[in-house]
């Protein structure tokens, strides 16, 4: 039976989530909610469901809701998540929340702990790795085609330049110098962790973590982050918003190399390549290659360039996990996964503020494994 879903926060992303639920056979969109009447009413009319102006009222009117999907945003795109998430969990509803899980690390820890205590599914929309290329890459990792991981290089940036990110285009970032850092690093950190596991050490340089003074342009930030993973792999993340345009690999790319081979994902949804290490099965022998040459890669082009295809895929995965009653610790892109990305973000900010010192992100809450898994 389809899960009954209510969406809270009917901005552009809430509407997008609502569309995904409406189109997904595992969901029945039952209601929408916004503290502002117009976005709530507009979405309700468009989607043919009732509008509510408080979550309280929505929960009262629909006690049989299974899932509350929180797409509220706020300062640094995360400050309005805590209240509705905690309220929905208190009402024994499963919750899907947008990223970042919060802009406040204490609130994020509390949400994750509360969901665990209530034994509910708290998922986060870390949607960037719900793609065909990421599926192929994860399969390569599981099949041992990467071997012992050696490096993880991630480049991510919104195309920009002088014209794109004017101050007036982003008034919500005023007075929040870490706006981009907190609003966005959840994505690249989630991808790096998805493939390479927990990060134990972080060192960050941020060339412009505030507003640019000249030309009245909004300077959102440029982040150069060096990491060590628990598995011994070394990683590097370059992330920037709008001040320049990314060239190779499209708006984001990731490359993970190991003793057996290397994979690259280019342009998020578009392309997957696998480079077998010289000498591995099917690859050229090292002696047949010139110095620095690699065997030819296997390339898979999806033909897809639209990143918005990640939303229905990710939301479907959440609905599937809840429907199937997977053990809580196996929920894909969980609240705990989202907390990890926020711990790394706060560690990066601390490193930057201390002049680039090495910071160990706080430990994550222990996983309580379900013995049935
Ligand atoms: N995963 C992605 O790829 C992706 C992409 C863009 C944005 N986002 C995230 O989506 C979220 C929403 O972004 P947006 O641009 O749609 O935001 P928005 O500010 O345009 O919309 C948020 C809406 O929530 C409403 N709201 C706030 N608090 C509420 C509450 N307690 N109860 C009911 N309604 C409430 C506001 O009135 C507003 O209409 C952000 O967290 C952002 O980081 C994710």
**Domain assignment present for 360:** no
Is residue 235 within 6 Å of ligand 1 at its C-beta? no
**Domain assignment present for 266:** yes
pTM for the complete prediction?
0.95
Is residue 223 within 6 Å of ligand 1 at its C-beta? no
Q: Which atom of ligand 1 is nearest to the CA of 80?
A: 28
pLDDT, tens digit only, all 373 positions of the chain: 899 999 999 999 999 999 999 999 999 999 999 999 999 999 999 999 999 999 999 999 999 999 999 999 999 899 999 999 999 999 999 999 999 999 999 999 999 999 999 999 999 999 999 999 999 999 999 999 999 999 999 999 988 777 666 555 555 666 788 888 999 999 999 999 999 999 999 999 988 655 554 444 455 678 999 999 999 999 999 998 877 888 999 999 999 999 999 999 999 999 999 999 988 877 778 877 777 777 789 999 999 999 999 999 999 999 999 999 999 999 999 999 999 999 999 999 999 999 999 999 999 999 877 777 6
- Asked whether residue 7 falls in the same domain as residue 96, the answer is yes
**Domain assignment present for 365:** no
Q: Cα 317 to the chain's mean position, in Å?
A: 14
* Cα–ligand 1 centroid distance for 191 (angstroms): 22
- Asked whether residue 205 falls in the same domain as residue 278, the answer is yes
Task: Name the helix (H) or strand (E) containing 324.
Answer: helix 310-324
* Cα–ligand 1 centroid distance for 298 (angstroms): 39
* Cα–ligand 1 centroid distance for 15 (angstroms): 10
Cα distance between residue 297 and residue 300, in whole Å? 10
Q: Which atom of ligand 1 is nearest to the CA of 128?
A: 3
* Cα–ligand 1 centroid distance for 14 (angstroms): 6
Contact 186, 342 (CB under 8 A): yes
Domain that holds residue 289: 129-304
- Asked whether residue 286 falls in the same domain as residue 139, the answer is yes
How far CA 178 is from CA of 75, 80, 205, 220, 338, in Å, comes to 10, 16, 13, 8, 18
The total of structural domains in the chain comes to 2
**Domain assignment present for 29:** yes
The pLDDT, as a whole number, for residue 275 is 95
The pLDDT, as a whole number, for residue 216 is 45
- Asked whether residue 158 falls in the same domain as residue 254, the answer is yes
* Cα–ligand 1 centroid distance for 184 (angstroms): 14
The pLDDT, as a whole number, for residue 115 is 98
Contact 126, 99 (CB under 8 A): yes
Is residue 42 within 6 Å of ligand 1 at its C-beta? no
* Cα–ligand 1 centroid distance for 51 (angstroms): 16
Give the position of tokens 């998540």.
81
The DSSP code sequence of 232-271 is S-EEEEEEEESSS---TTTTEEEEEEESSEEEEEETTTTE
The pLDDT, as a whole number, for residue 151 is 98
**Domain assignment present for 363:** no
**Domain assignment present for 8:** yes
- Asked whether residue 276 falls in the same domain as residue 136, the answer is yes
Is residue 293 within 6 Å of ligand 1 at its C-beta? no
Is residue 71 within 6 Å of ligand 1 at its C-beta? yes
- Asked whether residue 189 falls in the same domain as residue 111, the answer is no
- Asked whether residue 168 falls in the same domain as residue 218, the answer is yes
**Domain assignment present for 366:** no
- Asked whether residue 235 falls in the same domain as residue 143, the answer is yes
* Cα–ligand 1 centroid distance for 302 (angstroms): 30
Is residue 12 within 6 Å of ligand 1 at its C-beta? yes
Q: What is the CATH number of the domain that holds 197?
A: 3.30.360.10
Is residue 249 within 6 Å of ligand 1 at its C-beta? no
- Asked whether residue 168 falls in the same domain as residue 229, the answer is yes
Is residue 333 within 6 Å of ligand 1 at its C-beta? no
Cα distance between residue 89 and residue 77, in whole Å? 21
Cα distance between residue 345 and residue 62, in whole Å? 37
Question: Is the C-alpha dihedral spanning 342, 193, 309, 321 positive or negative?
Answer: negative
- Asked whether residue 283 falls in the same domain as residue 198, the answer is yes
**Domain assignment present for 58:** yes
Of 314, 334, 215, 237, the C-alpha closest to 16 is 314
Q: What is the CATH number of the domain that holds 28?
A: 3.40.50.720
Cα distance between residue 155 and residue 172, in whole Å? 25
Q: Which atom of ligand 1 is nearest to the CA of 14?
A: 16
Characterize 213-249 residue by residue with b for buried, 16 or more Cβ atoms within 10 angstroms of its Cβ, and e for exposed. Answer: eeeebbbbbbbbbbbbbeeebebebebbbbbeebeeb
- Asked whether residue 25 falls in the same domain as residue 57, the answer is yes
Cα distance between residue 319 and residue 24, in whole Å? 9
- Asked whether residue 294 falls in the same domain as residue 314, the answer is no
């Amino acid at each position: 039976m389809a899960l009954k879903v209510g969406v809270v926060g009917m901005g552009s992303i809430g509407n997008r989530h609502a569309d995904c639920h409406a189109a997904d056979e595992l969901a029945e969109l039952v209601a929408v909610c916004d503290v502002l009447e117009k976005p709530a009413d507009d979405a309700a009319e468009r989607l043919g469901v009732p509008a509510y102006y408080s979550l309280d009222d929505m929960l009262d009117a629909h006690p049989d809701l299974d899932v509350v999907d929180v797409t509220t945003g706020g300062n640094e795109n995360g400050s309005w998540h805590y209240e509705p998430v905690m309220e929905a969990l208190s009402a024994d509803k499963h919750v899907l929340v947008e990223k970042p899980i919060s802009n406040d690390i204490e609130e994020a820890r509390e949400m994750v702990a509360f969901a665990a205590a209530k034994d509910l599914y708290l998922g986060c929309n870390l949607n960037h790795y719900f793609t065909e290329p990421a599926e192929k890459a994860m399969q390569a990792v599981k099949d041992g085609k990467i071997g012992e991981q050696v490096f993880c290089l991630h480049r991510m940036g919104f195309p920009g330049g002088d014209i794109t990110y004017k101050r007036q285009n982003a008034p919500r970032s005023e007075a929040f110098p870490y706006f981009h850092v907190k609003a966005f690093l959840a994505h690249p950190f989630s991808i790096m962790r998805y493939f390479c596991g927990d990060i134990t050490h972080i060192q960050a340089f941020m060339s412009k973590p505030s507003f640019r003074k000249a030309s009245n342009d909004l300077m959102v930030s440029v982040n150069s982050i060096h990491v060590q993973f628990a598995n011994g792999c070394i990683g590097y993340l370059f992330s920037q918003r709008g001040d320049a345009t990314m060239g190779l690999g499209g708006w984001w790319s990731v490359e993970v190399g190991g003793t057996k081979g290397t994979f690259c994902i280019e342009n998020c949804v578009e392309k997957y390549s696998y480079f077998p290490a010289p000498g591995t099965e099917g690859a050229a022998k090292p002696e047949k290659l010139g110095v620095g040459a690699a065997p030819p890669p296997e390339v898979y082009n999806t033909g897809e360039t639209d990143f918005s295809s990640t939303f229905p895929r990710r939301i479907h995965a959440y609905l599937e996990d809840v429907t199937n009653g997977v053990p809580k610790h196996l929920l894909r892109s969980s609240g705990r996964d989202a907390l990890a990305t926020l711990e790394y973000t706060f560690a990066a900010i601390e490193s930057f503020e201390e002049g680039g010192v090495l910071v160990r992100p706080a430990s994550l809450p222990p996983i309580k494994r379900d013995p049935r898994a």
